[in-house]
Amino acid sequence: MIKGAISTLVIHRMPRYYRFLGNLQEEGITRISSRELAERMNLTASQIRQDFNCFGGFGQQGYGYNVDILKSEIAHILGFDRLQSAILIGVGNIGRAVLKNINFESMGFSLIGVFDEKESLVGQVIKNSPVRHISTLDEFCRENKPDAAILCLPKAAAKPVVEQLIKLGVEGFVNFSSYDINLDYPDATVENVHFKDCLMTLSYRLHDKKDNG
């Protein structure tokens, strides 16, 4: 497996491959060619082969790809077999949606703490995780050294929390708040998710279609 300089575009396609391979498994399909997969995913066969060959290539000439093997190779590439610890901050609607819909263990993370600023939520258990008060965050992090934090806070609250966590040594963030985490922290890895941007893009595309056919 030759890593080194995988492009962002390739990396962002890997989770999508992983998802589609899961769908194939559910359909009972055990074998697929790059051509067939391309058709399903709206890519080209060439691109798929190039992507997989960034990591070594997992197919077999004349046969294609074994779905189970390919999926587990991707799981390995994405690091799902080596769990990292994560905390989640903010159990409003977004936080709850994440907690209820995402199986952390299946995607490389072990959720070790959930925090909110609301006293009334403290102690409540959501998906096996007791909610802790945000005031205990500092102590908790010094003791447990989480690798990553999932931020589900309102925009205004996000910035100070990010700064606090950076100081505490947290290196990875998934940010669902509409605050844009800026990457002046060279060691931090950030994935910003902006709901609003998708609506804006859709607005553009719908108008574009009406105007330009």
Partner DNA sequence: TAGATTGTTAATCGATTAACAATC
Residues in CB range of 130: below 8 A, 6 or more apart: 114, 123, 124
Q: Which of 23, 25, 30, 44 binds DNA (CB under 7 A)?
A: 44
Q: Does 7 bind a copy of itself (CB under 8 A)?
A: no
6 — phi, psi (to 5°)?
-75, 135
Report yes or no: 69 and 47 within 8 Å, Cβ to Cβ. Answer: no
If binding is defined by CB under 8 A, does position 170 make contact with a copy of itself? Answer: no
Helix (H, G, I), strand (E, B) or coil at 83: coil
The binder of 11, among a copy of itself, DNA, none, by C-beta within 5 to 8 A per type, is a copy of itself
**CA nearest 59: which of 51, 157, 79?**
51
Binding flag, residue 64, DNA (CB under 7 A): yes
Placement of tokens 């060691």 in the chain:
187
By CB under 7 A, is residue 72 in contact with DNA?
A: no
Tokens of 39: 């058709």
What's the rounded Cα separation, in Å, for the pair 75 and 82? 10
* Residue of 79, 123, 130, 160 that binds a copy of itself (CB under 8 A): 79
Compose the 81-100 pattern: x for residues touching a copy of itself by CB under 8 A, - for all others.
Answer: -x-x-------xxx-xxx-x
CA distance 95 to 73: 30
Q: Which of 41, 49, 96, 171 binds DNA (CB under 7 A)?
A: 49
* 52 binding partner (options DNA, a copy of itself, none; Cβ < 5 to 8 Å by kind): DNA
Q: How many Cβ atoms sit within 10 Å of the Cβ of residue 154?
A: 12
Q: Residue 177 carries which DSSP code?
A: S
The tokens of 73 are what? 């190779």
The option from DNA, a copy of itself, none interacting with 197 (CB < 5 to 8 A, set by class) reads a copy of itself
Selection from DNA, a copy of itself, none that 167 binds (CB < 5 to 8 A by kind) is none
Report the interface residues with a copy of itself, using CB under 8 A.
3-4, 6, 11-12, 14-16, 18-20, 23, 40, 42, 77-80, 82, 84, 92-94, 96-98, 100-102, 104, 107-109, 147-148, 150, 171-174, 176, 178, 180, 182-183, 189, 191, 193-209, 211-212
